[in-house]
Amino acid sequence: MTPRSRTNQLLYQAELLLDLPDSTDEHAEARRMAAEEGALALFELALQSLLREVTEHARLERHDWRELLGAEGAGIAELHRLRELAAQPASWLAWLIARLEALHASEGVARRGTGASAGLIAVGSGAALGEELRWCLAEAKAELAALRETSQEW
């Protein structure tokens, strides 16, 4: 499988997790949280794959997103573009990085409600996380085309 195919596959799989049907059993909230965090984890793998894909002309040894998107990352045009995007608080990449950091923290990123009335709020918050993740995936896919185009010029 090519890096491009792998990136596409991971993005598609993340979307599939977000599109799982809702349920009403006692595990519904845990299932929603698992789907959201699973989709986010797949999105992280897709980001890693994207970085490998758009930097393959540079033959980098490592493709960790924290390293490549950090201040000390390689001076490649695609990475510079992504660093600038990550610096914009309202961008999909800034949103994604913040959620990935939360995903790796002890608390995780998906939220569970406490009690019946808070449960309604938590479901709304959970739906918001899923919707934000859908938005982020769509924005990332739109950005993919431009990144791939500049990468292919090399």
* pLDDT score, position 118: 43
* Average pLDDT of span 127-153: 83
DSSP state of 107: T
The residue-averaged pLDDT of 31-41 equals: 94
Please give the mean pLDDT across all residues of the chain.
85
Buried b (16+ CB within 10 A) or exposed e, 11-50: beebbebbeeeeeeeeeebeebbebbbbbbbbbbbbbbbb
| pLDDT tens sequence across 77-87 | 888 899 999 99
Does residue 63 have a pLDDT over 70?
yes
Whole-number Cα distances in Å, 90 to 43, 74, 145: 18, 24, 20
Over range 72-81, report the average pLDDT: 82
Between 29 and 58, name the one with better pLDDT.
29
Which amino acid is residue 26, in one-letter code? E
What is d(CA 78, CA 93) in angstroms, rounded to the nearest whole number?
13
Q: Give dist(CA 93, CA 86) in Å, integer.
A: 5
Q: DSSP character for 55?
A: T
Average pLDDT over residues 104-122: 65
